[in-house]
Structure 1
Amino acid sequence: MSHNGPRPRRPRSAAVAVVAAVLGILATELVLGWPALTGALAQLRTPHPGWLLAAVGAALASMRAYASMQGRLLRAAGVRVPMVRQLALAYAAHSLSVTLPGGPAFSTGLNYRQMRRFGASPAVTSWCIALSGLLSAAALAVITAAGAFTAHGTPRWPALAVLAAAVALATAGVRRLARTPDALAPALALVNRVRRRPPGHGADRVVEFLGQLRATRLTPAHATAAAGYALLNWLLDAACLWLCLHAVAGGVGAGRLLLAYCAGMAAGTVTIVPAGLGIIDGALVLGLTTAGAATSAAVAGVVLYRLVSFGFIIAIGWLALLLIRRRESTKDGPLHRSAHSGEQRPAVP
C-alpha cells in the first residue's frame, strides 16, 4: 500500500542566493555612493533662484522654438496658425510623446488631427510632420558635431553629411513627385499587382494627394527659418541643463556639456520608459562627470533639469491638451466643405 505523504519542498537556496546577491550589490552601491547622494540632495535643496528662473525661461523658449518650426512649415504651405494654438499643440503633443507607452504614435495622431483642423490638407499635414521630424534629427546631429568639435573631438562628418543629404533628397523628391505624379505609375502598378488589383487602381487618390503637396512652397527663407528654429529648440534645452548645473554650483565647458546632453538625448530614443526615466538621467550624469563635473553637482543638476524640462513642461502640456479637447468639443465642432478642393475641412476662427 502506497503512502501519500506531503511532498517535500524544493530547495530555494538558488533563489535566496540571487536575492542576497542583488541586495548586497544595492547595499554596496548605496554605501559607496552615499557621500555623492547626500551632497547632491544638499545642493538640490538650495538652488540659486536666479539660475533656476533662467533655466525655466530656457525650457519655455525651447518649446516656443519647436512650435515656431512647425508653424513655419505650415506657413510654407499657405496655412497660417495663431502662435497660441501652435504652441498649445506643441506642448500637448510633447507631453503625449514622453509620458505614454507608445507616446510618439499618440503624439503624431494629435498633430495630424489638429493640423487638419488648422486647415491643412492631408498631404500637407503628413509632409509637415515628417519634415519636422527630419529637421529635428538633423539639428541634433549638427549640435553633436559642434560639441565634439569644440571639445577637441572628431565629429562624425560622414554620418552628418549623409543625414543632411537625406533631408535634402527627401524634400526634393517630394517636390518632384508633386510636379510629375505620372512618375509613380510603375510603383503603383507593382503595388496593385501584389494586391491583385487593376494597374490604375487608386491613381486618382494619388494624383489628388500629390496635387495637395503642390501647395507647399518651401522657399529658402522658410527652410532656413525652420532649420534655425530646430537648432534653437535643442540648444535652448541644452542651455536649460547648463543653467540647472549653475543653479547647484556646478558647471562644465560648453562643448563637453553639449556632448553629454546629446548622449543623453540619444539614449532616450532607444527606451520605452516614459521620458526615458533612468536612462537619460544616467547618461547625462555619466557624461557630465566625464566632462569634469563633481558627481554630487552632476546628480543635483540633472535632477533639477528633469524637474524643469519634464515635470514642469509636461504639466503645462497636459493642461494644454485639456484646453484643446475642450475647444474641439465647443468652438471647432462643425465641419464645412471647402469649395476649392471638395474635401471636408474644419472652420478655423
Structure 2
Amino acid sequence: MADPPRPRRSFPRPRSRRRGGLPRHCRRPPVRCAAPGSCRGSLARPDGARPVTATPEERRRGRRRRPRGWLAPVPRPLRRGVAAFVALLLVEYVVLPQVAGASKSLHLLASVHVGWLLAGVGLEAASLLSYAQLTRAVLPRRDNAPSLFDALRIDLATLAVSHVVPGGSAAGTSLGYRLLTESGVSGADAGFAVATQGIGSAVVLNVLLWLGLVVSLPTRGFNPLYGTAAVVGIVLLGGFAGLVVLLTRAEAQATRILRGIARRIPGLDPQAVHDVVARLAERLRELSADRSLLFAAIGWAAANWLLDAASLWVFLLAFGHTMSPDGLIVAYALANVLGAIPVTPGGLGIVEGVLTSALVGFGSPRGVAILGVLGWRLVNFWLPIPAGALAYLSLRVEPDAPREAKAAELEQLARRSAEDAEDRRTWATRIGLRRPD
C-alpha cells in the first residue's frame, strides 16, 4: 500500500527585492550615481559596488542644504533670532494691547498728531547722541579716541545686544568693551569707560527719581512701589559711593583684596588685576580732579535720560494728553529703575507694565497711556535693534562686502553674545522658573 502523499510545506513568501520602488541594495550613501537605470540619482558606494540611496534622515539633510532664495546665505541661528524678534514684536504690539483693553481706544489713532510723533523720534535720536557724548566724555582725551559717529555706532551695537539677550547687560558690556579696544582705546580705559557709563548713568537716573519723589510726595501721597524703587536706588548709590571711595582713598587696600581674590581664581593673573585697579583708580582721580570733565559727564548722562523722558511726554501728547512733569519723571524713572533688574532683555514687559500703571495713577487716560507707551517703546527699545545690527556691520565689515560675510559676522556676534550672557538654566532658575531640559 502506497504511503499517503505528504502535505506540501508552505514556506514564507520571499521578500521583494524592491523596496519603495527601488532595489533592496539601495540603502545608504555618500556619492550620487550617474549611471542610467532605476538607480540614477541615488548614491553609489565608494568601493564601486552597486549604487545605494540615502536614508530618510540623509534626504532631509540634503533638502536642508538646498538654497532657499535670498535667505540662503543667512545662517539658521540668525534666521531663528529674526523670527523670535518678529514674534516678540507681534506679541507686544498685537496681543498685549488687546489683553490690556487698548483695542477699545484704537479710535485715538485716527486723531493722533503725526508731527508730535516725529518730534518724539527726534528726541529719542538726541538721547542716543547724548549717550554717545557720555561715552566720549569718560574716555581719555587722546588722538586715538573714537569720534562721535564711532561712539554712536558702538553704543547702538551694545544696546541691540542688551535688548535681545536675556540678562544681556553682561553681553552688551562685553561687546562695548571689545569694540572700544578695537577702535584703539586701551583695555583699562575701555573698562573704565564702560563701567562708568553704565553705573554713572544709573546713578543719575536714581537721582532723578529721588528728585521727582521729593516734588510729588507732598501732593500725591505715597505708593508702596515707590519704596521698592527707593530701596534699589539706595543700594545702587551706596555701592557706587563705596566703590569710588575704595579706589580713590584706599587704593592699596583695594588692590590687596583683589589680588588675594585673583590668586584663588584659576586663569586670573594677580599682576594684571593690580594693573587694572591702578589704572581705574588713576582715571577716577583724573575725573574727580577735572571738574569740567566731571560736570560734562553728569550733564550728558542727565541729558540722555531727560531727552528720553521728553520723547515719552511727546508721544503721550500726540494722543491728546498733557502729562505733568513731576508725574512723568516719577513714572519714567520708576519704570527704568525696576526694568534694570535683569529679568528680561532691556526690561521688556516690566517697563511697559510699570510705566503704564504709573501714568494711569498720575492721571493719564488708560488708552492714551497704553498707546503712548507702546509708541515710545517702538523707538526706545525696538528700533535700536536693527539699527545696532547695521552699526555693528559698519564697524566690522566693508560696505561692499558680500552678503555672506555680513551674515557670518552677525552669526558670530550672536554666538559670542550668547556665550557672554547668562546660561539659560541659570537665568530661568534666578527668576523662579523651572530649569528647561
TM interval, short-chain normalised: 0.7 to 0.9
Match of 1:54 in 2: 119
Pick from 175, 190, 195: which aligns with 1:125?
Answer: 190
Match of 1:173 in 2: 246
Pick from 139, 150, 173: which aligns with 1:108?
Answer: 173
Pick from 371, 377, 388: which aligns with 1:317?
Answer: 388
Contact 1:271–1:279 (CA under 8 A) maintained in structure 2: no
Pick from 186, 192, 199: which aligns with 1:134?
Answer: 199
Contact 1:245–1:298 (CA under 8 A) maintained in structure 2: yes
Equivalences for 1:230-245 in 2 at 5 Å?
230-245=301-316
Match of 1:37 in 2: 103
Contact 2:335–2:354 (CA under 8 A) maintained in structure 1: yes
**Structure 2: how far apart are the matches of 1:76 and 1:159?**
34
Determine which structure has greater relative contact order: mean sequence separation of CA pairs < 8 Å that are 6+ residues apart, divided by chain length.
1
Match of 1:308 in 2: 379
- What's the CA shift string for 1:135-191, capped at 9, x where partnerless? 11111111111221232447988986775554344234334566x5x8734663575
Contact 1:261–1:284 (CA under 8 A) maintained in structure 2: yes
Match of 1:6 in 2: none
Secondary structure at the counterpart of residue 123 of structure 1: helix
Q: Which deviates the most, 161-170 or 54-63?
A: 161-170
Match of 2:363 in 1: 292
- Cα deviation for residue 112 of structure 1 reads 0.9
The letter of the residue matching 2:191 is S
Equivalences for 1:1-349 in 2 at 5 Å?
34=101, 37-39=103-105, 41-75=106-140, 80-153=145-218, 163-164=236-237, 166-176=239-249, 184-185=255-256, 188-189=259-260, 192=263, 194=264, 202=269, 204-210=271-277, 212-213=279-280, 216=283, 217-218=286-287, 219-270=290-341, 272-326=343-397
If the length of structure 2 is used for normalisation, what is the TM-score?
A: 0.59
Aligned CA distance change for structure 1 residues 288 and 328 (closer, same or farther; 3 Å): same
Contact 2:156–2:384 (CA under 8 A) maintained in structure 1: yes
Q: Which deviates the most, 245-254 or 317-326?
A: 317-326
- In percent, how many aligned pairs have the same letter? 30
**Structure 2: how far apart are the matches of 1:78 and 1:134?**
26
**Structure 1: how far apart are the matches of 2:207 and 2:303?**
12
**Structure 1: how far apart are the matches of 2:277 and 2:352?**
43
Secondary structure at the counterpart of residue 288 of structure 1: helix
**Structure 2: how far apart are the matches of 1:79 and 1:51?**
39
Contact 1:77–1:124 (CA under 8 A) maintained in structure 2: no
Higher CA-based Rg: 2
**Structure 2: how far apart are the matches of 1:144 and 1:229?**
17
**Structure 2: how far apart are the matches of 1:300 and 1:159?**
28
Aligned CA distance change for structure 1 residues 196 and 212 (closer, same or farther; 3 Å): closer
- What's the CA shift string for 1:249-305, capped at 9, x where partnerless? 122211011111122213322353334333221111111110001111111111111
Secondary structure at the counterpart of residue 81 of structure 1: coil
- Cα deviation for residue 113 of structure 1 reads 0.9
**Structure 2: how far apart are the matches of 1:213 and 1:329?**
39
Contact 1:288–1:298 (CA under 8 A) maintained in structure 2: yes
Q: How many residues align?
A: 293
Aligned CA distance change for structure 1 residues 44 and 99 (closer, same or farther; 3 Å): farther
- Cα deviation for residue 81 of structure 1 reads 1.6
Higher helix share: 1
**Structure 2: how far apart are the matches of 1:237 and 1:105?**
23
**Structure 1: how far apart are the matches of 2:195 and 2:379?**
28
Match of 2:416 in 1: none
Contact 1:289–1:295 (CA under 8 A) maintained in structure 2: yes
Contact 1:71–1:81 (CA under 8 A) maintained in structure 2: yes
Secondary structure at the counterpart of residue 138 of structure 2: helix
- Cα deviation for residue 208 of structure 1 reads 3.6
The gaps in structure 2 that reach 5 residues or longer are 1-96, 402-437
Contact 1:59–1:236 (CA under 8 A) maintained in structure 2: yes
CA RMSD in angstroms comes to: 3.3
The letter of the residue matching 1:205 is A
Aligned CA distance change for structure 1 residues 184 and 208 (closer, same or farther; 3 Å): closer
**Structure 1: how far apart are the matches of 2:110 and 2:348?**
21
- Cα deviation for residue 195 of structure 1 reads 6.5
The letter of the residue matching 1:42 is H
